[in-house]
Structure 1
Amino acid sequence: MTQVRKAIIPVAGFGTRLLPISKAIPKEMVPVVDRPLIQHVVEEALAAGIDEIILVTRTGKSAIEDHFDAHFELEHSLATKGKDALLETLSAIAPPRLKVTSVRQPNAKGLGHAIHCAAHLLDKNEPFAVILPDVLVKPQPQGQGCDLGDMVKRWDANNASQIMVEAVPEEEVYRYGIVDCDEPQAGESADMRGVVEKPKPEDAPSRLSVIGRYVLPYRIMELLHDQAPGAGNEIQLTDAIDRLMQEGQTVQAFRMRGRTFDCGHIEGWLQANTTLAREAGFDI
């Protein structure tokens, strides 16, 4: 049984890049093909062997929790009318092994702060995953397994933190956190020397960008507890990861094999819907 059983998913953001869609609807509930974005992400966690989800949320986001809750009246109505296929679809949203817990982020103080809000829900020395829900990670059409699941296996094998990365064009490195490491092959990991937030192309140590999937030790929570604000005057997860490396702990960049869709902005969301709908057989 894998050691990594819990994933923290920060969902407290305002979703400004998706306005006006996200004005009254949490961005995580915006549909991608036939189900909301958050369901895609939870299904990814389940495929990786992770069955406990911790949502870091805020006021106005209750629809996310409701989505994974039981709806007795609706289920009873579908059962009475013999709509078994729809009933099975509802049941698949939250299989019996899935446990969803939520905790509030009282103030928007950055990703590191959001993650630390869930520290009390982890056991001492318990590793955990972090999944940023704006980005969908999907296998290639021919299917190559679950990248997050492979990261979990690598943690199990060597207890080294895993940071998922993908190559981006040189002219776009300024938009991302870029890792400093010897470039691994797809599906492999390499030891990191550091990570630079949004560097100029000429200063970037590589073209490998961090894409929002992490497997980390509990020690990160202890570092975040007293982490000083960094870029944007916010508590940055990357700063705590840098401190982890300074302590001599191994942090590895895992180069993904699949594809990413940045659903945090309109263009990426439209691309995800168009591409994945066609692959699912919808005539669009």
Structure 2
Amino acid sequence: MIKKAVIPAAGWGTRFLPITKSQPKEMIPIVDTPVIQYVVEEAVASGITDILMIIGKGKRAIEEHFDRSPILEESLVAKKQFELLEKVKKISQLANIHFIWQKEMNGLGDAIRYASDHVGNEPFAVLLGDTLISGEGEPITKQLMDVYERYKSSVVALEEVPRNKVHRYGVIKGKTLEKNVMIAEDFIEKPTVEEAPSNLAIASRYIFTPEIFKYLEKTKPGKNNEIQLTDAMRDMVKRYAMYGLQFKGKRYDIGNKLDFIKTNIIYGLMNEEIGAPLRKWLKEFSGDL
């Protein structure tokens, strides 16, 4: 059973400046909860108990969010706001969460290299800290773990995207093995439409065997002069079997302002406290457009 996860959360978040000048993009809220808390909750719901976050300069707020806040807790007790107190305390009890600093922003592949000592010789999950995925029936990370248990090899989440958007993603080339499961032959990072072997994009969730670290160590800087995780995967798949799973669920990309606003509305409509009045307001507002 996979018990460890790595969450890279060191990027600058330049597309959300100026707010990310002093606040990590992973701490931007969806309704009332930071994005990265949803990601941690997904990992925990999948059976993960040990999480390593890779953070960088200006990310101290992430550490503080997952730590205890005695002064705040005492204040909530004094005000008899016990429901809020439980919400706050629960955050620090989700899992064993550790932090390590990425010294330079050299790409996703470089960030994951920092997890080598923590992971050791175990398989582990990777969840990108700025992407939400709601699984149907069970969390997407658990879906990947189930495939890993069958094949004992690395697995990546796959999402079908329009052909004209493949240049935004890493894309898989492979053969269908069973329903929604492919065995990988190659991976290409941000291909042109002509280069893309499929329109199945890697969707921010992975299960890796520890062999990935050997390939990350020898991977040269690629696109954007960064160490690309996809490049390491391309080398690794030549020797080790790797799989792709078209997951059951919905991915919410908050990497740009428009999708961030859309995601807030969707999650707001699902929120017990504000869902009904928000739906009423949207109907009224749309009538005025």
Same fold flag (TM > 0.5):
yes
* Contact 2:189–2:231, Cα closer than 8 Å, also in 1: no
Cα distance in structure 2, aligned partners of 1:119 and 1:168 = 32
Matches within 5 A, 1:1-284: 2=1, 4-95=2-93, 98-123=95-120, 125-139=121-135, 143-182=136-175, 188-247=180-239, 249-281=240-272, 282=274, 283-284=277-278
Q: Give the residue type in structure 2 aligned to 1:18.
A: F
Partners of 2:217 and 2:168 in 1: how far apart?
27
SS at match of 1:180: strand
Distance, in Å, in 1 between the alignment partners of 2:37 and 2:107 is: 23
Kindly provide the amino acid, as one letter, of the partner of residue 275 in structure 1: I
Q: Distance in 2 between matches of 1:9 and 1:43?
A: 12
C-alpha distance after superposition, 1:7-50 (max 9, x if no partner) = 11111111001112212111111000121111011001111111
Distance, in Å, in 2 between the alignment partners of 1:221 and 1:198 is: 22
The answer to whether the 8 A contact 2:9-2:130 is kept is: no
Q: C-alpha deviations, 1:96-119, integer Å up to 9, x for none?
A: x61111111111111111100121
Look up the SS of the partner of 2:194 in the other structure: helix
1:129 is aligned with what amino acid?
Answer: A
Contact between 2:35 and 2:131, CA under 8 Å: does it hold in 1? no
Indicate conservation of the 8 Å contact 1:185/1:255, yes or no. no
Q: Which structure 1 residue ranges, 4+ long, deviate > 6 Å from structure 2?
A: none
**Is the Cα–Cα contact under 8 Å of residues 54 and 101 in structure 1 kept in the other structure?**
yes
Amino acid at match of 1:65: E
Residue 183 to residue 174, structure 1, CA distance change in 2 (3 Å): farther
Secondary structure of 1:218's partner? coil
What is the aligned-residue identity percentage? 36
Deviation digits for residues 98-152 of structure 1 (CA, Å, limit 9, x no counterpart):
11111111111111111001211122x211111112211013xxx4221210111
Unmatched runs of 5 consecutive residues or more in structure 1? none
Q: Indicate if the aligned counterparts of 1:9 and 1:54 stay in contact, CA closer than 8 A.
A: yes
- The offset of 1:280, in angstroms, is 1.8
Q: Distance in 2 between matches of 1:38 and 1:67?
A: 10
Question: Residue deviations 1:169-221, cap 9 Å, x none?
Answer: 111112211111235787x3210111112222233211100111010011111
8 Å CA contact retained: 1:184, 1:254? no
- How many residues align structurally? 275
Give the direction of change, closer, same or farther, for the CA distance of 1:156–1:184 in structure 2 (3 Å limit): closer
Scaled by the length of structure 2, what TM-score is found? 0.91
Task: Give the match's secondary structure for 1:54.
Answer: strand
Return the alpha-carbon distance in structure 2 between the equivalents of residues 259 and 75 of structure 1. 35
- SS of the counterpart of 2:23? coil
CA distances 1:69-97 after superposition (whole Å, capped 9, x unpaired): 001111122123321101111122132x6
Q: Distance in 1 between matches of 2:186 and 2:218?
A: 20
Alignment check: 8 A CA contact 2:157 2:204 kept: yes
Separation in 2, partners of 1:245, 1:59: 33
Separation in structure 2 between the aligned mates of residue 67 and residue 185 of structure 1, nearest angstrom: 41
